[in-house]
Amino acid sequence: MGWRNRSGPRAPCPGAQPSRPCADVEFTFGLPDPLTNYISNSVLGTHSKVIAGFDSTPWRDVCSNGDALSDGPMQACWDSNPKKEGQGSLSFLIGGLVTSYMNQLAPLQLGTDGTRNGIQWGINWAQEEGYTGSYTCLKPGQYTAVESLFFFDGEEDERQVPFLDNLAFIGESFSGDYWGYMEGAAQTGWMAAQHLIDEVL
C-alpha cells in the first residue's frame, strides 16, 4: 500500500487509520522519529465482546446492575439491556486470548447459576477483516515519547493540532486525551476539520 504526495499543490489530508495499519503505509517524506517509532511499535488490544443470554435478570434482584470490573481475562461485564424486563443478557469484555470467563462470575454472587439460556454472540476484533485489534493499548514510555504528536483539546495554550505539513493522523490512536475511546476518534476528527477550515482553506 502506498501513500504518495503528488508534485505541485497538495490537498490537506487527515488520515484516519488506527496506528498499527499505518506501519504498512509507504511515506515518501520523512515522519518525525517519535511518530515512526510509535506507529511501528504500537499494539492494539485483543479484546473480544461476548453477549450471553439469560432467562431472567437475577443480578438485579441482588442489588447489582450487572457491572463488574476485574484484572482477570474477563475484564468487564455489564447488563446489555438495563431497561428491558424478562429475559436479559450480560455483555462481557474479555482481554487476552483466554475465553473461559464465566467462572470469574462466581465470587460476584450475581445469582446467574441455572439461568443461562444458551444464546450467545461474540466478536473478536483482532480476527475481523480490516481490523488488527480492538483499540490502542499504550506500552510504558510510548505516551511520553509521542505526546508532542498527539491531539489535545482545551484552552488555547493546551490545544495541540499536530499537522505535519498538510497531513494529520487522526483517530483514537492519535488522541492524547481519549485514546481507546470513541471520543478520541471524534475529537481528533473535528479538531483536524476545524484546523483545515481556520488555517488552510
Ligand X SMILES: Cc1cc2nc3c(=O)[nH]c(=O)nc-3n(C[C@H](O)[C@H](O)[C@H](O)COP(=O)(O)OP(=O)(O)OC[C@H]3O[C@@H](n4cnc5c(N)ncnc54)[C@H](O)[C@@H]3O)c2cc1C
| Footprint of ligand X (CB under 6 A) | 16-18, 21, 24, 47, 49, 93, 125, 130-131, 134-135, 171-172, 180-185
Enter the C-alpha cell of residue 191.
Answer: 479538531
Nearer to ligand X, 35 or 93 (CB): 93
| Residue labelled with grid coordinates 483517530 | 171
Nearer to ligand X, 74 or 185 (CB): 185
Q: Which of 82, 17, 76, 69 is nearest to 48 (CA)?
A: 76
- Provide, rounded to whole angstroms, the least separation between the CB of residue 8 and ligand X: 25
Q: What angle do CA 175, 179, 180 make, to 5 degrees?
A: 150
Which residues, including other chains, have CB under 8 Å from residue 116's CB and lie 6 or more apart?
52, 53, 54, 55
- Provide, rounded to whole angstroms, the least separation between the CB of residue 183 and ligand X: 6
Label residue 18 exposed, middle or buried (CB < 10 Å: 0-12, 13-18, 19+).
buried
Nearer to ligand X, 94 or 110 (CB): 94
**DSSP assignments along 57-87, one per residue:** -HHHHTT--S-EE-SSSEEEEEES-TT--SS
Nearer to ligand X, 74 or 93 (CB): 93
Q: Which residue is closest to ligand X by CB?
A: 171
Nearer to ligand X, 53 or 180 (CB): 180
Nearer to ligand X, 16 or 108 (CB): 16
Torsion of CA 110, 114, 116, 117, to 10 degrees: -150
Enter the C-alpha cell of residue 152.
Answer: 489535545
